[in-house]
Amino acid sequence: MSGQRRPGRYPVEMRARAVRMVFEAEGHCGSQWEAICSIAEKLGPTPETVRRWVRQVEIDEGRRPGLSTDERERLKRLERENRELRRANEILKAASAFFAAELDGPRS
């Protein structure tokens, strides 16, 4: 079973702990990547997963450029709202065309 990974998301507490451990281990390791690999091996997720967690925390704290977690969530919400509005607009256009044809009546 050692080759199988846990399906789904890791708990928030585990993510925070892993990131904290990486930041603490950076001083003892030769590089951040070595710290990430070491912590990933101890906790179970892949090194790439831990690296993404670390990068996101660095962005959220302003250490690295990029979209913060709050900005990313806001963008997703706005994109979803935009899709819904476009869909509603298409429905209204179709209804408008239908009723316009009804009001014009049959052509003789």
* 1 belongs to a structural domain: no
Q: What length is written for the chain?
A: 108
Whole-angstrom Cα distance, residue 44 to residue 27? Answer: 22
Residue pLDDT, tens place only, 47-75: 999 999 999 999 999 999 999 999 999 99
Residue pLDDT, tens place only, 79-95: 999 999 999 999 999 99
* 7 belongs to a structural domain: no
Domain that holds residue 72: 12-104
* 2 belongs to a structural domain: no
* 4 belongs to a structural domain: no
Whole-angstrom Cα distance, residue 89 to residue 68? Answer: 31
Number of separate domains in the chain: 1
The CATH code of the domain that includes 39 is 1.10.10.10
Cα separation values, 68 from 10, 50, 100, Å: 19, 17, 47
Whole-angstrom Cα distance, residue 44 to residue 10? Answer: 10
Which tokens in the block code for residue 45?
Answer: 């997720």
